[in-house]
Amino acid sequence: MAALLDIPSIKNATAFHLERWKQVCADPSLQRRPDRIETNRYGHIVMMPPPGFSHTTRQSAIFAHLLTSMPPGASVEVAVLTQDGIKGIDVGWISASRVKRGLKGDVLTIAPEICVEVISPGNTRQELENKRELYFAAGAEEVWFCDQKGALHFFLKGNETSAAKASALCPSMPKRVKV
């Protein structure tokens, strides 16, 4: 047990995760992989298969709507530092002032105001609830889920567990996207 005392601990989580992400992104063996990569709270790599056609089509439709109906700030595959490591948000909208405050290297240390997850067949309710909690804890104002039928579910800061009828930040966003 005494040997455990000699193992370094994470003193600055932000610095640890940003450095670990830099290592992951620089690894040539990982750069060639088609998988989506995230890290967990310990800096371990989590790999997922690339998303399917209907997933990317919904992702693109949401991105296109944000791009045309909001000020500049829409992005896809956004790397965000959370309490559980670096996560890749499918679509996000982030203001320029938030980017200025939170961008460290190629990772946002503050979540975009809008974080969108397009649900994949392998996702579980617990996983999505956890992501919602992580994104709100990282500073998101809204978390949206797009289900496998294209229906959007909007969760707003202040009432994070009950879906709202619409987005407060982007009220023109339709309640359903088509593939």
Asked whether the beta carbons of 150 and 62 are under 8 A apart, the reply is no
Q: How far apart are CA 56 and CA 90, in angstroms?
A: 9
Global pTM reads 0.86
The span from the CA of 167 to the CA of 72, in Å, is 17
Least confident of 4-8, 32-36, 73-77, 98-102: 4-8
| Tokens read off for 93 | 């909208």
pLDDT tens column, 79-126: 999 999 999 999 999 999 999 999 998 999 999 999 999 999 888 999
Summarize pLDDT for 20-41 with one digit per residue, the tens.
Answer: 888 988 888 888 877 788 888 8
Per-residue pLDDT band for 4 (boundaries 50, 70, 90) equals low
3.30.1360.170, 3.30.2320.80, 3.20.20.150, 3.90.1570.10: CATH of 51-164: 3.90.1570.10
Residues 6+ apart with CB under 8 A from 66: 73, 74, 91, 93, 114, 170, 173
The residue extents of the domains of the chain are 51-164
